[in-house]
Copies of this chain bind each other. A is one copy, B any other.
Amino acid sequence: MSRQLSIAAFMMRHGHHVAAWRHPQTDLATNPFKVFRQQVRSAEAACLDAVFFADSLALTGNIPSLEPLTLLSALAASTEKIGLIGTATTTYNEPYTVARQFASLDQLSDGRAGWNLVTSDNAAEAANFGRDQHVGHAERYARAREFHQVVTGLWDSWQDGALVNDKAGGVLADPARIRKLDHRGAHFAVAGPLNVTRSPQGRPVVVQAGGSEAGRDLAAATAEVVFTAQPTLAGAQDFYRDIKRRVADKGRHPESLKIMPGLFAVVGASQAEADDKFGMLQCLIEPKAGLALLGRMIGNFDLSGYPLDGPLPELPQTEDGQRSRQQLLTNLAQGENLSIRQLYARIAGGRGHFTVIGTAQTVADQMQAWFEGGAADGFNFMAPALPDGLDDFLALVVPELQRRGLFRTAYTGTTLREHLGLQE
């Protein structure tokens, strides 16, 4: 079989467009878990590799959410095949707890768990965990690397076959096949072993999304999937080459890490219909919500005092992990001479991700060009509004990709690791 696309669905409460919750079809009345359950079952029916949930440890824009580990566990019980990727930060958690919760999700889903390893860089999150200042960039990444080492060490503490289950002989587990970890590092001291048995897929899949130098290096050393925001083909190709080179430098197989840029796509039966769908969402943007989104993305800068139709002011260079995003948006505003209103409208959907608005043919063409052009191993699909945006993609784009032989028509494995086709 030829090389196949990997596709995840990046799920958000109402969808990725900042005005998604105002879309007429968005269901605000039903229990959010039941709304997600319906959507994830649709994604599974289309044979997607996984669903993915981001996380925030603080209330953002007054939009409430469910916590990823609990939500994914409930979804595990509601599905059979699809991978379940959740985010947990290394900055404000303990590795024993994160190792356990993902190992447990992996057990109860029969090997479908993925851990999106992030570091936390914003002040609102810090303030919920007793820190007046967020942790510095270098320190966060040093902690993250050691955190990953402890978690994977704990996941390996039960060897295959350690659970003997010999009732007659009175031996439940073979102590010789259960290893203590006895980790002592700069950030953590963890004895182990883990109290959850070995993963049905060996280990849960490790996902990352860091774009900085430290983030890329950590990903090349430890990640198996990299999500990334890449607005252009050329930029995505550069990123892809860079990461795959770093992976090779670490002595890893290039197919041991899949690069999956975000894809914000609005799909219509015609170009005009797709444009209309996107236009309706754009019309629903409240200036306050647009300003808040833009403010967050340029480094938590308060823009409310500036005229909407004036230019973006000079910004103090942000100290947190948003520096590359701040630069991207400043360049965009200056290069095209955009007002604040035009700039937030520009990011209200894809937020700096690869954006395609068009027919299934157009979207599939673009995906294929990136896939075959050395820019992507797959995509993390970001629906504009839910459920419509996801339903359109599954009903129109996925069959087109299947016709082209680029995407599976049935699951061939049972674990997330198998879906992704990860090589050792």
Binding site for B on A (CB under 8 A): 21-22, 24, 26, 28-29, 31-33, 37, 56-60, 62-67, 69-78, 92-94, 96-97, 100-101, 103-105, 107-108, 110, 124, 127-132, 158, 163, 165, 167, 170, 172-173, 175, 178, 188-197, 284, 286, 289
Contacts and interface: CB of A to CB of B under 8 A. Distances in A.
Contact of A66 (B104, B131, B190): B104
Contacts of A69: 69-70, 73, 101
B128 A96 contact: yes
Contacts of A191: 58, 124, 127-128
A180 to B, nearest CB: 9
A52 B56 CA distance: 29
Of residues A72, A96, A194, A284, which shows the largest number of chain B Cβ atoms within 10 Å of its Cβ?
A96
Contacts of A105: 70
B163 A64 contact: yes
A108 B57 contact: no
Contact of A107 (B31, B59, B63): B31
B22 A77 contact: no
21 contacts: A28-B165, A31-B110, A32-B107, A32-B108, A33-B77, A33-B107, A37-B77, A58-B191, A58-B195, A62-B178, A66-B104, A69-B70, A69-B73, A73-B77, A74-B76, A74-B108, A75-B77, A92-B94, A93-B97, A128-B190, A129-B190
Contacts of A173: 62-64
Contacts of A37: 77
Of residues A57, A178, A191, which shows the largest number of chain B Cβ atoms within 10 Å of its Cβ?
A191
Nearest to A106: B70
Nearest to A22: B167
A107 B78 CA distance: 16
Given A96-B128, A127-B191, A192-B128, A108 B33 contact: yes
Contacts of A163: 64
Nearest to A73: B73
Contact of A188 (B22, B63, B130): B130
A65 B196 contact: yes
A165 B32 CA distance: 13
Contacts of A77: 33, 37, 73-78
Contacts of A107: 31-33, 66
A165 to B, nearest CB: 4
A77 B170 CA distance: 35
A170 B289 CA distance: 9
Nearest to A197: B64
A62 B158 CA distance: 10
Contacts of A170: 22, 284, 286, 289
Closest 6 CB pairs of A and B: A73-B73, A127-B191, A33-B108, A67-B104, A77-B77, A74-B77
Of residues A63, A66, A128, A284, which shows the largest number of chain B Cβ atoms within 10 Å of its Cβ?
A128
B73 A71 contact: yes
B196 A66 contact: yes
Nearest to A188: B130
A5 B165 CA distance: 37
